[in-house]
Structure 1
């Protein structure tokens, strides 16, 4: 369990924070909750703490001083600063001292939960990064780029922090790329990073962060979009890397005009990260633009749950009339659809299902025929269908019960604690096995379930938005709108409008 310290000079706020969210659902234990920043600092000096939540204005010591001293004691400590005042200087100073977020009172429980969810993911990644890269990569710029691609900041916060870092959000023509290596030797990505930087001067601006020691996430923007071909740029990098014996896979998203579309470009790149386990060295999403009609046809067949229907559709998609290179692109896209249903990160897929690794390695090599690709995709689908059945049969009964409870969504106040009580297990145990079986923290899964249920209500009913927000359990419409847009990359109102047009 991660250890957290809460400090605020108002006792009722400390108590409120302790009960504001389901902390155990994020594997967090409130180890110390006090009204004295001096006592909090003493506790930090003598204990291993992962998260500090502190008020800014306190009589014994202000929160910014506590933050500064706490980060000196524990450089990897995650910090959330609270204040009743939206004062720009406070925000800038807290971010400069290393705070991950600055929340205004009165706190919105959903906003707090959202921040905690992000921080837990950051803490896990930082544990890995600190072993390899030390403190150099764990800075404000890296955190900002990660928040940008994952759509974790409001437009106002994004502009403010970009301004502090000197990042021009109006440059336009952004595209996201994820570079990854299967080589566990950390020097591979370090050397590749130096190699990558040599390609940028005079052509591209790049913003980066390491998602883990073998995965580098980049946002590029071309200095002269009219004269540069991003496809050629990436293929040259990967080809040169191979000559340098730096085996790296690259997956890129579409080029987008506006900074707010960067998360979509990142999602497109991330959707094809599984290809790093195949013989394919690079995937460029823009080359898949012509596949939408084919994928919709396959998706409709897949959702029937009938293997015969799926195999029949695969047979019609791979006809002798289409060229082999198109078959390769189509196969990669269908693999993305199939693997997305596992709801696992690529690394988790391979760890939990080692047979999948060999199947990915067997992806047809360049020069294969349409028949080769069709046969491979039929085999791959049959394997995943049997794997899905096996997962359902082996799932812990209580995890299955939790998933079914969330699918029914009859209780908007559902929580890890209430479900654990019904199943006669501890919240900590239920949270642990839920993460092991699904790859999700319970509260992240719950938020996604709420958004999926909300999308269903928006599309299939005429309920007012405020009633939907209440029905699915969000505490405010503002937070719901932000979460919905982050998940679907469109506002709830625009989502309803699009569905009605269709």
Structure 2
């Protein structure tokens, strides 16, 4: 098992990371937890973890000093930064000390598991002496992040034209940015294929269908790299379309499972209907007959159940609960929650009813 050390002075953040990580899938285990960098360095000797997930702002030895020490004393360690601050100075420190990824709080489960997958890939690559591990470029990851959000949306709508246009736009930006090194283009491939694997998993597509062998010509230019990525995205969407389109009837259980995996995303009835090749009227009617709620109400129900569950942990701020449940506007979350349960989130937490 790959050992992981969690470092954060907020216990609720450590609990969220523990809850959101697909540890068994990645053959990982939480070997220990630390409140600050000093305790983390003591645990390094005792536990010998291969991965450290750390906050940046902590009392005593903070994340910057911890990353510096780990880089000097344990150069093979893989680190992931989880920070409550969208501060590029922190991101530059993470880049300088070779962090695998820089995640913002509240932690997104998909981003966390993508970072864990990167760590696993790099650890496996490092175990092969003939192939050096790929070092993550934080600036490049920032450039790719906005495209990933658009790609998720287009993929869930089975929008091949949108996928192709987005990746073409990304190719042009890579050209303008002067990103021509093979190592950086390989990072583009790895990050985009990792996102594709995540989307395949969320849509119950067998990972064995992704045959992504590539050679040096793939990294000759950004256009080559993006053409390679586009081919695999379009091929996977066509596979998903075939899987859904030629079934004898609409699989409502598959729709329900899709909603449970994407409840925190702004998915509309129209988008869901397009993704499953039915009219929105038919989907709404059949879904309500099967589950007793229409699609919108069921999505709201999923969000509220999760929010109530997270409220039981008093160390998680209500603002964070709202964000994890898919609500950026905390005031709107309060109104929806009170209408659903008849009591405000803070009152429910105080009463102990959660």
- Structure (1 or 2) with the greater strand fraction: 1
TM-score, structure 2 as length reference: 0.49
